[in-house]
Structure 1
Amino acid sequence: MALSLQLGEFSLPDWRPAELSWIRARHASLGAVASRAEKPSSRFNLKSIELQRAAQRGGVAAVMPLLTDRLAIRVCANLWADVDSPNFRQNCPPTQELLDQFETVGLPLSSLTLAALLRAYFDHFDRLFQGDMLKHGQTFLRRHLNARRAGQSGSDLDKVRSAQDWLFSESAIQATVSSTRQRYSDLEEAWRAWGLRAYRAGRFAQRCQAIFYIEHLEQIDVGADTAVFAEVTQKSVARLPYGEGKTIGVKVLEVLIDRSADSQLSDAWREAILEIAGDPRLPPSAPSYQRWWDPVGPERVRRMQGWMSQLDIGLFLEVLEEVGKQSSNAELQRMFPARKQLLTAILETGAVVNSRLFLSREALSYVKRQYPERQLNVFGRLSDASKSVIYMQVGSVHLVEGTHSFRIYIYPSLPADCIVFQHDKHPINPLDLGPDLERSLYDPGTPKSQYRHFASTHYTNLKWVYEAIRVLRNAGVRVDETQVLSASQLARFRRETTAPSAQPKRRMQTPKAPFRDDGNTIVSIRQTLEAAASPLYATEISEKTGIRIVKVERAMFSRPDLFKRNLANKWRLK
Structure 2
Amino acid sequence: DLRLFLGAIAEYANHTGDESLNRMFPARKRFLEGLYEHGFVRNARLMLGYQAEHTVKRVLGKSLTTSYIKLKAMPQTSIIYLDCGDFHIVEGSHNFKLWIYMGLPSEKMTDYSLSELTHNDLTVRFPNEFRKNLPNGKKLAIQHSPTSWQKNAIDFLTENGVELDLEKLFDSDKYRRYVNRYGLPVVKKNTQENNLLEVNLLKALDAYQPITAKELVKILDNEFSMFADRPTVNAKLYSMLSQKKVTRDDSFRWYLAD
Q: TM-score, normalised by structure 1?
A: 0.29
Separation of aligned partners in 2, 1:496 and 1:344: 19
Separation of aligned partners in 1, 2:48 and 2:61: 14
The alpha-carbon deviation at position 347 of structure 1 amounts to 1.1
The alpha-carbon deviation at position 371 of structure 1 amounts to 4.5
Query: After superposition, where does 1:405-416 map in structure 2 within 5 Å?
Result: 405-414=95-104
In the TM superposition, what whole-angstrom CA distance separates every residue of 1:475-531 from its partner, at most 9, and x where no partner exists?
43423346414323333234999xxxxxxxxxxxxxxxxxxxxxxxxxxxxxxxxxx
Separation of aligned partners in 2, 1:426 and 1:375: 15
Unaligned runs of 5+ in 1: 1-311, 498-574
Separation of aligned partners in 2, 1:477 and 1:395: 13
Q: Does 1:438 align with 2:127?
A: yes
Contact 1:354 1:393 in 2 (8 A): yes
Separation of aligned partners in 2, 1:404 and 1:372: 27
Kindly provide the amino acid, as one letter, of the partner of residue 130 in structure 2: L
Separation of aligned partners in 2, 1:470 and 1:481: 15
Q: Does 1:350 align with 2:39?
A: yes
Separation of aligned partners in 2, 1:343 and 1:361: 23
Separation of aligned partners in 1, 2:150 and 2:167: 9
**Counterpart secondary structure, 1:391:** strand
Kindly provide the amino acid, as one letter, of the partner of residue 162 in structure 2: G
Separation of aligned partners in 1, 2:165 and 2:128: 28
Separation of aligned partners in 2, 1:379 and 1:419: 14
The aligned residue for residue 397 of structure 1 is 87
Separation of aligned partners in 2, 1:358 and 1:468: 22
The alpha-carbon deviation at position 440 of structure 1 amounts to 2.8
**Counterpart secondary structure, 1:343:** helix
- CA gap of 1:495–1:394, structure 2 versus 1, over 3 A, is closer
Kindly provide the amino acid, as one letter, of the partner of residue 138 in structure 2: R
The alpha-carbon deviation at position 358 of structure 1 amounts to 0.7
In the TM superposition, what whole-angstrom CA distance separates every residue of 1:515-563 from its partner, at most 9, and x where no partner exists?
xxxxxxxxxxxxxxxxxxxxxxxxxxxxxxxxxxxxxxxxxxxxxxxxx
Q: Does 1:388 align with 2:84?
A: no
RMSD: 2.8
- CA gap of 1:413–1:398, structure 2 versus 1, over 3 A, is same
Q: Give the greater-gyration-radius structure (CA).
A: 1
In the TM superposition, what whole-angstrom CA distance separates every residue of 1:235-261 from its partner, at most 9, and x where no partner exists?
xxxxxxxxxxxxxxxxxxxxxxxxxxx
- Structure with greater helix share of residues: 1
Contact 2:34 2:168 in 1 (8 A): no
Kindly provide the amino acid, as one letter, of the partner of residue 456 in structure 1: I
Contact 2:166 2:175 in 1 (8 A): no
The alpha-carbon deviation at position 419 of structure 1 amounts to 2.6
Contact 1:408 1:455 in 2 (8 A): yes
Unaligned runs of 5+ in 2: 187-258
Separation of aligned partners in 2, 1:321 and 1:441: 31
In the TM superposition, what whole-angstrom CA distance separates every residue of 1:71-107 from its partner, at most 9, and x where no partner exists?
xxxxxxxxxxxxxxxxxxxxxxxxxxxxxxxxxxxxx
The aligned residue for residue 17 of structure 2 is 328
The alpha-carbon deviation at position 361 of structure 1 amounts to 0.7
- CA gap of 1:472–1:460, structure 2 versus 1, over 3 A, is same
- CA gap of 1:374–1:454, structure 2 versus 1, over 3 A, is closer
Q: TM-score, normalised by structure 2?
A: 0.60
Q: How many residues are paired up?
A: 178
The alpha-carbon deviation at position 335 of structure 1 amounts to 1.3
Kindly provide the amino acid, as one letter, of the partner of residue 390 in structure 1: I
In the TM superposition, what whole-angstrom CA distance separates every residue of 1:410-454 from its partner, at most 9, and x where no partner exists?
111116x533223223321133123432233225xx9xxx87212
> Which of residues 418, 427, 430 is equivalent to 2:116?
427
The aligned residue for residue 156 of structure 2 is 471
Kindly provide the amino acid, as one letter, of the partner of residue 413 in structure 1: G
In the TM superposition, what whole-angstrom CA distance separates every residue of 1:331-383 from its partner, at most 9, and x where no partner exists?
2112101101101111111221111111111121222231437824x111111
In the TM superposition, what whole-angstrom CA distance separates every residue of 1:447-476 from its partner, at most 9, and x where no partner exists?
xxx872122101111x22123234334443
Query: After superposition, where does 1:416-565 map in structure 2 within 5 Å?
Result: 418-443=107-132, 452-461=138-147, 463-473=148-158, 474-481=160-167, 483-484=169-170, 485-494=174-183
